[in-house]
C-alpha cells in the first residue's frame, strides 16, 4: 500500500528519490507515464490533488493520472503505491463502427440537407490538425435568435470517449425525424434552441487518444474560476478550447452537459473547489433528473451513493474543466455526464446506451426552458436590452439577457424569489416574492426605465438654442446639442456634477444632480466677449539651453471666463521641449512637457486642437483678471535638434467688456542669452541671435580654436530684446576663413557667453 512512513523509509527516500528506476513505467509519446495510484480512503484523492496530480479518473480504489518524470519520482519517494497503467485498448473494428470526424461531417451535412428549415451547421473553429469543430443547431427558425432557452450537448472532449458523439447524433436524428409528427418533440424544437457540439477533440478521436494533437487534456485547459493555473499542463490554452470559448461566451446557454466515458455518474459544479456552487441544490436536482431517467446511472450507488450523481470536487478535483468555465463565465449550468464505465465500448452496445440516455436528454431539453423567463426591454423605445442582469436574492449567480431579443431564462428550485433586474444606464427593478417552479415556466417580461438626463441649452440674452454646446455628466458621458439645442445622456444611477460649455459662452456646472430616472436640466448661457492678441516674434530656442521668453500685453481688465492659446514652434524633435504659459499674476500652466518624441513641431490652439500637459489646471486662470503681461516660455532639454518660436496668440473670453488700458510698466522681457547660430555647420554665412535683458554695451566676436579673434560682429550699444546678426564667414580683412570649428562670444551686461560654430567649405 502506500504512505508507510517510518524513519527508515524517509532515509531511503532521501538517498533513492533522485535515482528511482522508472523503466517499469512506460511513457506515452508526450513523455508522461500513465499510472494508477492506490488510494486507501477517499481523502487521499484530495491529497493527491493538493500535490498537483491532475486526476483523470477515480474508480475502484485507484486514482488514474498521467505523470511527468518528476511527479512520478515525487509520489514514489513519498511512498505512494503507483502502478503503470495501460490505457483501454480499442480494436480497429470497434473504432471503425463509430462516427469519425469525416463521417460526422457528412452526417451533419446530410441531416441539414434533409431538414434545412430546422437545422444549422456552424464551425466554432479548427483543431490543431485543421479539423472543423462543429456546432449544430436544431430549432425552428435556426438562423434567427428567438425568445427561446438555449441548451447544449457537447461530446468527445476526450478523444477516446466517443459514445457521447453517438448520443448527439441519435438526438439530432430523433428531433429532426420526429419534428412535425410527434407533438412533444415538435414543441421542444419550436420552443428551444437545441445545440450540439458533438466532437470537441477530433484530432484525439482520430488518434484514439484522450488528449489533443499537442498532448493536452482539453478538459483541463479552460480558465479556472479562481484565476489560478489549471491541471498542471503547460502549453497554454489550446485552439480547440479558445474556439469553444469564443463561440459560447456571448451566448446564453441555460443548461448544458458534456459527455464523457470511464465512469457512470452525473457530476455537477464545482470541480475546482470544495465550496458548493451558488446553484448547488439546482445543479444536484437537474443531475438527479438525468439520473432518474437513466437506470444504470441511477442504480450505480455502489460507486456513487447519491443515486448516481456527485458534486465534482467531492469525487475528485479537476482544475480547468469545461463545466466550471461554462457556469462561471456564461452562467450556463453545465453537467459533466459520465455515461459508461467503458470508454470505447463495442458498437453493438450503442443501442443500449441510446435507450439509457434518450429520455434523460429530452428531460434536459425541457428543463432548460423551465423556471422564470422573459424579455427585458427599454421602457421608452421598446428595444431589447442586451446583458441586462437578473439577480436572484440569496443566489450569488446572476444570469444575463441575450442581445437580439433581450430574452433571459433562469432555472430555479421551486419557491418564491425576489428578482432584481439591472443594467447600467437604467433604473433597477425588483419583483418581490415571484413564484417560480422547477417543472414549469413563469413568464415575466421586464421594462427598464432608462436613467436619462435631457434638456435644452439656450443663449441667455436671445433665448435662441445653442447648437454644438457640450453637456457632460462629469467623468461619465457627454452629449453635443443638436440644432434645437437639445441634448440627452443616459448614465448609471447616481449623483453627478453636470457641466455645460459652448465656445464663446460662459461655462456652467451644476453639482449634486441626482440621476434616478428621467431628469430634465436646461442651461441658459451668457455670451462671452472675445479679445484676441498676437505676437509675431521669431525667437530661436537654444539647443539644451535656457528658457526663452516672449510676452503679450492684454489690455483689458476683465475676469477670465475662458481662454485659448495658439502656439507655433518649429522643432524636429518635440520630445525635447517644454512650453509654459504664464498668467500676469504669476500662475502658470504647462502646455507641453517633453512629450511627442521625434515628432515635428508644436502648432495649434490649446486646449481645442492640442491637449495641454496640465489639462486639469487649465481653469486655474478662470475668474482672474486678464490684464497685464502674459508670457510664453519654452526650453529645449536635450542637444541635437534646434527649434524656433514663430509666434503665438491669446484669445480671452469674458462676460465683461472692460476698457482698453495701456501697459503701465513692461517687466524685463528677457534674460541676456546667446543662441546657437543657424545653419550649423555653415558654408557661406550664418545668423547668430542673442537677446539682452537691458540696453547697454555689447560685443560679439568670432574666434578660431586657437583663441585668436577672427572677426568682431557687434561692438556698441544695443537696445534690450532680441537681435540677430549675420556673419559672412570672412575675417576682419575680408578673407574667407578656412573650414573648421569657430567660437563666438557675447559680452554684455557684465556677463559673457560662448557657443560653437562649424564652418565647412
Positions annotated as catalytic residues are: 338
CB-nearer residue toward Zn ion: 219 or 561: 219
Handedness of CA 340, 346, 347, 349 (dihedral sign): negative
Nearer to Zn ion, 88 or 146 (CB): 88
Nearer to Zn ion by Cβ, of 85 and 574: the residue is 85
Q: How far is the CB of 336 from Zn ion (least distance, A)?
A: 8
Q: For the stretch 377-387, what's the b/e string if a residue is b when 16 or more beta carbons lie within 10 angstroms of its beta carbon? A: bbeeeeebbee
In Å, how far from its chain's centre is CA 529? 45
Nearest to 267 by CA among 305, 308, 303: 308
Residue with Cβ nearer Zn ion (161 or 614):
161
Region label for 640, one of left (φ > 0), alpha (ψ between -120 and 50) or beta (otherwise): left
Do 332 and 252 meet the contact criterion of CB atoms below 8 Å apart? Answer: yes
CA dist 342 and 373 (Å) reads 39
Comparing CB distances to Zn ion, the nearer of 320 and 374 is: 320
Sign of the dihedral through C-alpha 708, 713, 717, 718: negative
Distance linking the first and last C-alpha atoms of the chain: 95
User: How far apart (Å, rounded) are the C-alpha atoms in residues 369 and 175?
Assistant: 16
Nearer of residues 161 and 562 to Zn ion, judged by Cβ: 161
Residue 109 in grid coordinates:
451535412
Nearer to Zn ion, 158 or 319 (CB): 158
Which chain residues interact with Zn ion by CB under 5 A?
A: 158, 161, 260
Report the residue number, 90 or 518, with the smaller CB distance to Zn ion: 90
Q: What length is written for the chain? A: 761
Cα–Cα distance for residue pair 618/588, rounded to 1 Å: 9
Q: How far is the CB of 186 from Zn ion (least distance, A)?
A: 33
Q: Which residues pair with 457 in a beta bridge?
A: 523
Q: Which residue is nearest to Zn ion (CB)?
A: 260
Query: Is the separation of the CB atoms in 287 and 279 below 8 Å?
Result: no
Question: What distance in Å separates the CA atoms of residue 652 and residue 649, rounded to the nearest whole number?
Answer: 10
Q: Judged by CB, which is closer to Zn ion: 30, or 605? A: 30
- At its nearest, how many Å lie between Zn ion and the CB of residue 303? 16
Distance CA 478, CA 473 (A): 6
What span, in angstroms and rounded, lies between the C-alpha atoms of 695 and 690?
13
Counting runs of H as helices and runs of E as strands, what totals does the chain give?
A: 14, 44
Q: Which residues, 6+ apart, have CB-to-CB distance to 134 below 8 Å?
A: 104, 105, 108, 121, 122, 123, 124, 197, 198, 199
The CA distance from 214 to 216, in Å, is 5
Q: CA Rg, the chain, in Å? A: 40
| Residue 637, number of CB atoms within 10 A of its CB | 13
User: Sign of torsion, CA 167 169 172 173?
Assistant: negative
Amino acid at each position: 500500500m502506500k504512505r508507510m512512513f517510518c524513519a527508515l523509509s524517509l532515509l531511503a527516500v532521501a538517498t533513492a528519490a533522485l535515482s528511482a528506476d522508472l523503466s517499469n513505467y512506460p511513457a506515452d509519446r508526450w513523455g508522461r507515464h500513465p499510472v494508477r495510484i492506490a488510494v486507501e480512503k477517499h481523502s487521499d484523492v484530495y491529497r493527491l490533488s493538493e500535490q498537483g496530480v491532475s486526476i483523470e479518473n477515480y474508480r475502484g480504489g485507484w486514482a488514474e493520472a498521467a505523470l511527468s518524470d518528476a511527479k512520478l519520482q515525487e509520489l514514489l519517494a513519498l511512498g505512494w503505491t503507483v502502478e503503470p497503467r495501460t490505457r483501454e485498448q480499442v480494436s480497429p473494428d470497434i473504432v471503425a463502427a463509430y462516427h469519425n470526424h469525416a463521417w460526422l461531417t457528412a452526417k451533419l451535412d446530410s441531416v441539414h440537407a434533409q431538414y434545412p428549415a430546422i437545422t444549422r451547421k456552424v464551425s466554432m473553429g479548427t483543431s490543431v490538425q485543421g479539423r472543423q469543430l462543429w456546432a449544430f443547431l436544431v430549432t425552428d427558425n435556426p438562423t434567427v435568435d428567438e425568445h427561446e432557452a438555449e441548451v447544449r450537448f457537447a461530446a468527445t472532449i476526450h478523444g477516446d470517449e466517443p459514445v457521447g458523439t453517438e448520443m448527439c447524433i441519435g438526438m439530432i436524428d430523433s428531433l429532426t425525424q420526429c419534428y412535425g409528427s410527434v407533438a412533444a418533440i415538435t414543441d421542444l424544437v419550436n420552443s428551444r434552441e437545441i445545440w450540439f457540439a458533438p466532437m470537441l477533440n477530433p484530432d484525439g478521436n482520430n488518434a484514439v487518444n484522450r488528449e489533443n494533437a499537442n498532448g493536452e487534456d482539453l478538459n483541463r485547459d479552460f480558465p479556472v474560476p479562481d484565476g489560478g493555473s489549471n491541471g498542471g499542463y503547460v502549453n497554454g490554452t489550446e485552439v480547440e478550447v479558445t474556439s469553444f470559448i469564443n463561440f459560447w461566451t456571448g451566448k446564453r446557454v441555460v443548461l448544458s452537459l458534456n459527455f464523457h466515458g470511464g465512469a457512470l455518474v452525473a457530476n455537477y459544479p464545482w470541480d475546482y473547489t470544495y465550496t458548493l456552487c451558488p446553484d448547488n441544490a439546482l445543479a444536484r436536482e437537474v443531475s438527479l433528473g438525468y439520473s432518474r431517467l437513466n437506470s444504470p446511472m441511477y442504480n450505480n450507488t455502489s460507486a456513487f451513493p447519491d443515486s448516481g450523481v456527485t458534486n465534482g470536487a467531492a469525487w475528485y478535483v479537476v482544475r480547468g474543466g469545461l463545466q466550471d468555465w461554462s457556469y462561471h463565465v456564461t452562467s450556463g449550468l453545465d453537467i459533466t455526464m459520465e455515461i459508461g464505465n467503458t470508454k470505447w465500448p463495442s458498437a453493438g452496445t450503442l443501442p443500449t446506451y441510446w435507450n439509457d440516455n434518450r429520455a434523460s436528454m429530452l428531460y434536459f431539453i425541457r428543463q432548460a426552458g423551465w423556471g422564470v423567463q422573459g424579455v427585458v426591454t427599454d421602457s421608452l423605445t421598446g428595444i431589447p436590452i442586451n446583458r441586462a442582469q437578473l439577480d436572484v436574492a440569496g443566489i450569488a449567480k446572476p444570469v444575463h439577457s441575450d442581445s437580439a431579443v433581450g430574452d433571459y431564462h433562469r432555472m430555479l428550485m421551486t419557491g418564491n424569489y425576489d428578482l432584481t433586474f439591472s443594467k447600467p444606464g437604467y433604473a433597477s427593478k425588483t419583483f418581490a416574492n415571484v413564484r417560480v417552479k422547477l417543472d414549469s415556466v413563469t413568464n415575466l417580461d421586464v421594462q427598464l426605465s432608462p436613467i436619462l438626463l435631457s434638456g435644452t441649452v439656450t443663449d441667455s440674452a436671445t433665448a435662441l438654442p445653442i447648437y454644438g454646446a457640450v453637456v457632460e455628466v462629469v467623468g461619465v458621458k457627454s452629449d453635443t446639442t443638436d440644432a434645437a439645442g437639445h441634448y440627452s445622456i443616459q448614465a448609471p444611477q447616481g449623483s453627478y456634477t453636470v457641466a455645460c460649455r459652448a465656445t464663446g459662452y460662459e461655462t456652467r456646472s451644476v453639482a449634486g444632480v441626482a440621476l434616478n430616472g428621467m431628469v430634465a436640466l436646461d442651461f441658459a448661457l451668457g455670451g462671452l466677449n472675445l479679445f484676441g492678441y498676437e505676437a509675431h516674434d521669431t525667437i530661436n530656442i537654444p539647443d539644451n539651453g535656457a528658457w526663452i521668453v516672449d510676452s503679450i500685453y492684454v489690455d483689458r481688465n476683465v475676469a477670465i471666463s475662458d481662454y485659448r492659446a495658439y502656439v507655433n514652434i518649429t522643432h524636429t524633435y518635440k520630445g525635447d521641449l517644454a512650453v509654459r504659459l504664464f498668467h500676469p499674476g504669476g500662475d502658470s500652466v504647462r502646455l507641453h512637457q517633453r512629450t511627442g518624441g521625434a515628432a515635428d513641431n508644436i502648432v495649434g490652439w490649446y486646449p481645442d486642437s492640442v491637449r495641454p500637459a496640465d489639462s486639469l489646471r487649465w481653469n486655474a486662470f478662470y475668474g482672474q483678471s486678464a490684464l497685464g503681461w502674459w508670457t510664453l516660455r519654452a526650453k529645449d532639454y536635450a542637444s541635437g535638434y534646434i527649434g524656433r518660436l514663430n509666434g503665438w496668440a491669446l484669445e480671452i473670453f469674458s462676460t465683461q467688456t472692460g476698457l482698453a488700458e495701456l501697459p503701465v510698466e513692461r517687466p524685463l522681457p528677457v534674460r541676456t542669452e546667446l543662441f546657437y547660430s543657424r545653419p550649423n555647420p555653415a558654408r557661406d554665412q550664418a545668423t547668430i541671435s542673442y537677446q539682452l535683458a537691458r540696453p547697454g554695451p555689447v560685443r560679439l566676436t568670432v574666434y578660431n580654436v586657437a583663441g585668436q579673434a577672427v572677426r568682431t560682429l557687434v561692438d556698441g550699444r544695443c537696445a534690450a530684446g532680441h537681435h540677430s546678426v549675420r556673419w559672412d564667414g570672412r575675417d576682419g580683412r575680408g578673407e574667407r576663413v578656412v573650414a573648421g570649428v569657430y567660437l563666438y562670444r557675447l559680452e554684455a551686461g557684465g556677463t559673457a557667453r560662448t557657443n560653437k560654430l562649424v564652418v565647412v567649405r
